[in-house]
Amino acid sequence: MILTLEERRKLIQAGLGEVPLDLLIENVQVVNVYTGRVEPGAIGIVDGRIVTPYAQGYDAERVLDGGGRYAMPGFIDTHVHIDSTLVIPENLSHLIVPHGTTAMLADPMEVANVAGLEGLKALTNTISQLPYHIFLEVSSRVPTAPGLETTGGELDLLDVREILCWPEAVSLGELDPSKVLAVRDEYLLKVEAAQTLGKICNGHAVGRVGKELVAYACGGLSDDHECVDYAEALTRLQLGMAVLIREGSTERNLDLILKGMVEDGFYNSPHLMFCTDDKHPDEILEEGHIDFMVNRAIELGVPPITAIQMATINAAKHFRIEHLVGSLAPARWADIILAEDLEPIVPGDVYFKGQHVASDGKLIVAPPEADYPEWIYQTVDVTHGKQAGDFVLAADGEKAKVWVIDLYPDQIINEQVQAELPVVDGCVVPDVANDILKLAVVERHGVNGNIGVTFVRGFGMRDGALASSVAHDHHNIIVAGTNDADMAACVQAIEEMQGGLAIASGGEVLGKLPLPIAGLMSEAPVDQVIDNLEEINQIYRDLGGALPAPFMTISFIGLPTVPKLGLTDMGLVDVLEHTLISPFVG
């Protein structure tokens, strides 16, 4: 990614006017993220890089009229798990590039938890050919919770050190507090490895306040994408941590953070930026990507230039890639959005490395062909969980007091509540009338056949079950249901598909979405994946559910690093204590 001597020499010569520009986009209003002003300009490009945004008077081999539109840098998603979009990076181009996203900072922990270093290499095989940048946040915790979950792969300290040296690697990926506050050498050595290479370390400080937050920041973590409101965000900023404002499918944090900042008059901070973290493709298609966040920030009262800075230069500076992306300045990649207005910003034309890649909401170039090894299509191996009896939770008496994971609307955090459930024929059963379903995690990596069982409230289903092999971060099969037979039917369907989403009722699978690449992604066309997802979401609603993104919601319930409870194949996890607990109270 660093300019070679020959490339830099040519840029210098172009800057002097000694060689013609490859392309001149004249008659534009340049959004200068350094001055914070809009200035008349003409963008000169050579070899995919910007020579100057004020190239009036330069000779060029090709000249385009920008039509007086606003020219701004391509938008940057500062933290994303690409696997959570359900589509491969190649096909994701069709969704994000027309919305002006030209850089994704991705933590590929999903595929690494399934298939380790080789899985990560398979996922990143074609990234140099994509019509957008993928920079890597090197996964720091694979597995996320050693001793509390079973995964198919792992990345040890030597693996992390190797990946940090890849040219695409820009940071150490999110490191949760349990590793830092317990002063665990393996993880602190990963921080040291990143900082030795001049790279930052991403945080995941969910629920931490006071001395714990201070200690966490002392661990070398540079940011947090888990803030849910302004007060929480402000505590991070006060300690020198950047805030990656998140707006995903089930993590709707933007409004609460920015409303508070606007009311307080505190939004012009260079340490604020945007990320999606986890967002399903149907919602990207419907509402947008980083452009949606920029426009929503403007609606809430953030000045347009400031919102654009959050989506561009703030991110580039934070990740120390300002020399590559984030501005329309000399020697940066010519990643450009042309838009008619600043309120709202609707990307009309998008350029990536000086190439016209999207126009009027459509990708106009072909992304690279997918090229994945055969073994990555065969990662689901279930030994238990395909029979109704596998989900039995035995108890004596007529009732049992159990812990219930209580879902929190529009967030991935949850509450820990108690419930008394009926015991029928020695088995604890759900209380469907009060929206308490059974929840299970089925080990699918062919390691031990574990099944963890507890209960969950918030899905709203009157009948049936739904399941997913996308289950952060262990990515076993997670299934919630009103009865054991439908739960088993879902697991059977997922194994047959070698990964995916499934929904069943009456012992019959009513809908499914195959995700055969590591059990996480589909290489089907984006439109087909979205249609399929909308179909199973509708089946969920027909069964009484009301969550806006039920399969994203279920994918996070098993996460053993987001309070207050998580569920893995080994059992129920008290997240703050980082320990397994019984599903029974007392």
The pLDDT, as a whole number, for residue 460 is 96
Specify whether 322 is located in the same domain as 382: no
In the block, which residue shows the tokens 């009027």? 360
3-state helix/strand/coil string of 458-485: CCCCCCCEEEECCCCCCCCEEEEECCHH
Alpha-helix runs per DSSP H in 126-229: 157-164, 177-181, 185-196, 210-218
In a domain, 109, yes or no: yes
The pLDDT, as a whole number, for residue 413 is 73
The pLDDT, as a whole number, for residue 15 is 97
Which residues on neighbouring strands pair with residue 171, listed in sequence order? 137, 200
In a domain, 5, yes or no: no
Are 391 and 440 spatial neighbours (Cβ–Cβ below 8 Å)?
Answer: yes
- Which residue segment(s) compose the domain that 287 sits in? 72-327
Report d(CA 567, CA 580) in Å as an integer. 9
Residue ending a domain, among 327, 344, 366, is 327
Provide the 3-class DSSP secondary structure of residue 94: helix
Q: What is the DSSP string of 63-121?
A: EEE-TT-EEEEPEEEEEE-GGGGSB-HHHHHHHHGGGTEEEEEE--HHHHHHHHHHHHH
CA-based nearest residue to 416, from 262, 281, 583: 583
Report d(CA 456, CA 557) in Å as an integer. 9
Q: What does the block give as tokens for 449?
A: 């056949």
Specify whether 406 is located in the same domain as 277: no
Q: How far is CA 292 from CA 32, 248, 251, 287, 345, in A?
A: 21, 11, 14, 6, 9
- The phi and psi torsions of 333 (rounded to 5 degrees) equal -60, 140
| pLDDT mean values, one per 10 residues, the chain (586 residues) | 92 97 98 98 98 97 98 98 93 98 97 96 93 98 92 96 97 94 95 98 93 97 96 96 94 94 88 96 95 98 97 98 98 98 98 98 96 96 97 95 88 84 95 97 97 97 98 95 98 98 97 98 96 97 94 90 89 90 92
pTM of the model: 0.94
In a domain, 336, yes or no: no
- Taking each helix axis from N to C end, the angle separating 254-264 and 290-299, rounded to the nearest 10 degrees, works out to 40
Specify whether 385 is located in the same domain as 240: no
Report d(CA 286, CA 254) in Å as an integer. 17
Q: What is the CATH number of the domain that holds 207?
A: 3.20.20.140
Are 47 and 311 spatial neighbours (Cβ–Cβ below 8 Å)?
Answer: no
The pLDDT, as a whole number, for residue 311 is 98
Q: In what order do the strands lie in the sheet with 272-275?
A: 223-224, 242-246, 272-275
Question: Which residues, other chains included, contact 441 with Cβ-Cβ below 8 Å and sequence gap of 6+?
Answer: 451, 452, 471, 474, 476, 477, 478, 479, 558, 567, 568, 569
Q: Residues 253-266, buried b or exposed e (16+ Cβ, 10 A)?
A: bbbbbbebbeeeee
In a domain, 280, yes or no: yes
Specify whether 302 is located in the same domain as 381: no
Are 514 and 479 spatial neighbours (Cβ–Cβ below 8 Å)?
Answer: no
Specify whether 270 is located in the same domain as 138: yes
CA-based nearest residue to 55, from 93, 23, 13, 91: 23
First to last CA, the chain: 57
Beta strand extents in 89-143 (DSSP E only): 101-106, 133-138
Specify whether 417 is located in the same domain as 563: yes
The pLDDT, as a whole number, for residue 577 is 85
The pLDDT, as a whole number, for residue 381 is 97
Rg (CA), the chain: 24
Provide the 3-class DSSP secondary structure of residue 158: helix
Specify whether 262 is located in the same domain as 401: no
Pair type for strands 477-481 and 465-468:
antiparallel
Q: What is the DSSP string of 214-237?
A: HHHHHTT--EES---SHHHHHHHH
Number of domains making up the chain:
2
The pLDDT, as a whole number, for residue 251 is 84
In a domain, 561, yes or no: yes
In the block, which residue shows the tokens 């888990």? 226
In a domain, 294, yes or no: yes
Report d(CA 409, CA 484) in Å as an integer. 26
Which residues on neighbouring strands pair with residue 350, listed in sequence order? 337, 358
259 upstream amide cis, omega within 30 of 0: no
Specify whether 387 is located in the same domain as 274: no
The pLDDT, as a whole number, for residue 414 is 80
Report d(CA 78, CA 491) in Å as an integer. 34
Specify whether 406 is located in the same domain as 308: no
Specify whether 278 is located in the same domain as 414: no
In a domain, 32, yes or no: no
Specify whether 285 is located in the same domain as 409: no
In a domain, 31, yes or no: no
The pLDDT, as a whole number, for residue 415 is 84
Report d(CA 42, CA 39) in Å as an integer. 10
Specify whether 381 is located in the same domain as 318: no
